[in-house]
Structure 1
Amino acid sequence: MNITFTDAAIAELSPYLNQEDSQLKLLYDTEGCGCVMSGVPALQLIKQSGPDDKLGQGTPFSFWYEPRHEIFFEPQLKVDYSADRGSFILKSDNQIYTNHLRFIKQAV
């Protein structure tokens, strides 16, 4: 899996990722959804990857993700940021996954 971050997303994420031990993880959050097929993507700051996490390639940020959720995403993704809405956008060449990609800033 590969994510390209736009200039707007880079500017918004850089202050968080320049902190010591901060890494980025692409989540597929299913909590409260009732079904794994109804999950919601999110970005989360983490201090350490989990035992099942896999490192994905990103430009310019690498990121972690859980391989079991890879099926819900295309191999090439893009993260953008809309200053007007104050939210991140997760998309590909084929679709928009969400215009309101949640960013969980509290590193775990």
Structure 2
Amino acid sequence: MRIQFTPSAVNKLKPYLDGSGLQLKFLHDTEGCGCVVSGVPALELIREHGADDRLAHGEPFDFWYEPRHEIYYEPVMTIDFNPAKGIFSLKSDSQIYSVNVKLAHPPAETA
């Protein structure tokens, strides 16, 4: 799996990732869907990756993902950000996966 991030997406994500200790994870979110096939793509900022997560190389950001969900996506995709609407989108050369990809933030750390 490989994701290319457009300049607009890079501008939106870079402040979250530079020097923050956070990493990017690409999710196949199935919460509330009832079935894994009905899942939707999402992005999440994480502090640590899960034991089953795999690191993928993206342009320019590497990201974590769960290999069991790889079957639902094409090998090369693009994430864009629309600043006017404040939303990400995910597409490939053959389809648009979502025009409303959520970016989840980790819960605040407690002291």
Q: Answer whether TM exceeds 0.5 for this pair.
A: yes
Match of 1:33 in 2: 33
TM-score (norm. length: structure 2): 0.93
Matching residue of 2:9: 9
Structure 1 stretch displaced more, 18-27 or 63-72: 18-27
- Write the distance in 2 (CA, Å) between the matches of 1:41 and 1:15: 22
User: C-alpha distance in 2, partners of 1:20/1:31?
Assistant: 27
Q: In the TM superposition, what are the counterparts of 1:82-93 in structure 2 within 5 Å?
A: 82-93=82-93
Unaligned 5+ runs, structure 1: none
TM-score, normalised with respect to structure 1: 0.95
- TM-fit CA distance, 1:20: 2.7
Give me the whole-angstrom Cα distance separating, in 2, the residues matched to 1:20 and 1:82: 23
User: Secondary structure at the residue paired with 1:59?
Assistant: coil
* Contact residue 46 and residue 107 of structure 1 kept, 8 A: no
Matched residue of 2:70: which SS? helix
Deviation at 1:19, TM superposition (A): 3.5
For 1:1-108, what aligned pairs fall within 5 Å after superposition?
A: 1-106=1-106
Q: Quick check: which has more Rg, 1 or 2?
A: 2
Aligned residues: 108
Q: Per the alignment, do residues 44 and 107 of structure 1 end up closer, same or farther by CA in structure 2, a change over 3 Å counting?
A: farther
Q: Secondary structure at the match of 2:58?
A: strand
Paired residue type of 1:30: T
Alignment check: 8 A CA contact 2:47 2:106 kept: no
Identical pairs, percent: 53
Structure 2 unaligned spans of 5+? none
Cα offset, 1:107, TM superposition: 5.7
Task: Give 3-state SS (helix, strand or coil) of 1:12's partner.
Answer: helix
Indicate if the aligned counterparts of 1:47 and 1:107 stay in contact, CA closer than 8 A: no
RMSD of aligned residue pairs (Cα, Å): 1.2
